[in-house]
Amino acid sequence: MRNLSSPTRDQPMLPELGTPRKLLKLKGMFNSKFGSVPKFYVRAPGRVNIIGEHIDYCGYSVLPMAVEQDMLIAVEPVKTHILQLANTNPLYPYWVKKKMKITLSLPRRDFSTSANNIQIDKTKPLWHNYFLCGFKGIQEHFGLSDLTGMNCLVDGNIPPSSGLSSSSALVCCAGLVTLTVLGMNLSKVELAEICAKSEHYTGTEGGGMDQSISFLAEEGTAKLIEFSPLRATDVKLPSGAVFVIANSCVEMNKAATSHFNIRVMECRLAAKLLAKHKCLPWEEVLRLEEVQAKLGVSLEEMLLITEDTLHSEPYSPEEICRCLGISLQELKTQILSPNTQDVLTFKLYQRAKHVYSEAARVLQFKKICEEAPDNTVQLLGELMNQSHVSCRDMYECSCPELDQLVDICRKFGAQGSRLTGAGWGGCTVSIVPADKLSSFLANVHEAYYQRSNRSLVPEKQSLFATKPGGGALVFLEA
């Protein structure tokens, strides 16, 4: 088995690493399932966002790193036009929204469809829909209408709905699978942009952070991910600290509820009202970053403008229409997404305040890492703590369990701790002095998991130290 780079124009060949044990296991499971041997495997990592939450879709830079947990797909191209998808985990969950109740369901692990008639149901975030997103994204990018089929077996150890980007890793995996089967080439940046756009087929109006770090990650370094144009810059993390991920064991799939899309729309509406107030062409504005760029002012100045322009009381749709001089019908059909058209109130001031302050924290974090003062870990921890407070109070994307876990992590030695990912559940990330790591892990495990009987996921995935990992890869069978 040869371990090769992804079929991109900008990635060098990797050295021979031998046959990883998990690929041999996946090969055996593939053979049992399909009665044949996969021709290649694709890996895409999950990620932890160190700082910069809910600001990528507003146009601002974020600071994630890839983790060792990943999605793997074993692939065999076939002569038919049928996609045969299977999952090694028969209990892989998905969340179904039924009226106002979110229900955990356990679907069949297998799915098949025509490669030339991809249909993605936005109402059901089934695992195979994320594969279809990546497949369809590549198909549409090249304008192809007669694609070959394939047998695919999906495996992975990223806890689902944990804020570590299991869904986007699967989209990226599928995009790279499709590109490899077609024998075509794209840059890593092009792949990331295609996969970010195609994940919108699930109905989630996300940004491009998850897909970007999945392709652009490099071992040993975090990345500052910037947008328009997409680019990644190395950020060397302090050697005297370790980043620890802790799973709250509260699952939240952002595609299963409207929470995430409401935040996206609140930011969009805030951007339009700020632009209108400043006599900018607000109809063209979609992101808060665009307002800053058009005004040519600093983030600190944008915070002051937000204070002067927006009020802290929630806005009704009718008030927004009056501010913009549009009808309610125009608001619903031209600005709001389908699953936010019935929202009764929008908190524009709070969301804009979070975005502009969080964007500033990302730049401060990077600057501290570059300058590396003696109290680097303390300063970075303070920024992470500020980020969590803003996520909790201004963006309202935390939950009681995350807040409790953050408090426990700080109590037992973390210099900083915050929710990571979309929130409303999932994981925290903490910066811990390296010499305190052992006691930190033991104390947090006892305080949060053992006392509360929350060991619902494998221990390694509940609480673990992590370091920057590499990006997506293709492994070819010899």
Q: What DSSP string describes 132-173? A: HHHHHHHHHHHT-SS--EEEEEEEE-SPTTSSS-HHHHHHHH
What is the pLDDT, as a whole number, of residue 251?
82
Q: Which of 212, 167, 177, 248 is nearest to 62 (CA)?
A: 212
pLDDT tens, position by position, 180-227: 999 999 999 999 999 999 999 988 888 999 999 999 999 999 999 999
Residue 8: predicted pLDDT: 52
Contact status, residue 302 vs residue 356, Cβ threshold 8 Å = yes
Token couple for 151: 């047998």
Place of tokens 């989209």: 171
Closest CA to 391 of 363, 423, 439: 423
In this structure, the number of other CB atoms found within 10 A of the CB of residue 22 comes to 14
- Which residues contact residue 329 at a Cβ distance below 8 angstroms, ignoring those fewer than 6 apart? none
Task: Give the model's pLDDT for residue 11.
Answer: 44
- What is the model's pLDDT at position 453? 66
**H helix and E strand count, the chain:** 15, 15
Long-range contacts at 295-304 (CB < 8 A, ≥ 24 apart): 299/356, 299/357, 299/359, 299/360, 299/363, 300/360, 302/356, 303/353, 303/356, 303/357
Nearest to 391 by CA among 162, 49, 54: 54
**CB-count burial class (<10 Å; 0-12, 13-18, 19+) for 29:** middle
Burial 133-155 (b: 16+ CB within 10 A, else e): bbbbbbbebeeeeebbbbbbbbb
Q: Find the catalytic residue in 70, 146, 210, 407.
A: 210
pLDDT at site 478: 54
Asked if 74 and 114 count as a contact pair (C-beta separation under 8 A), the reply is: no
For the chain (478 residues), the mean pLDDT of every run of 10, in chain order, is 45 41 92 96 96 98 96 96 90 40 48 93 85 96 92 92 90 97 95 96 90 96 96 96 95 70 97 98 98 98 98 98 98 94 97 98 98 98 98 98 97 98 95 97 94 58 88 83
- Signed CA dihedral, 289, 291, 297, 301: sign only: negative
pLDDT of residue 336: 96
Q: Is 210 a catalytic residue?
A: yes
**Whether 185 contacts 194, CB under 8 Å:** no
What pTM does this model have? Answer: 0.90
Q: What is the DSSP string of 48-96?
A: EEEE-TT-GGGT--BEEEEEEEEEEEEEEEESSSEEEEEES-TT--EEE
Q: CB of 413 within 8 A of CB of 436?
A: yes
Token pair recorded at residue 262: 């409401």
Identify the sign of the CA torsion 197, 202, 205, 210. negative
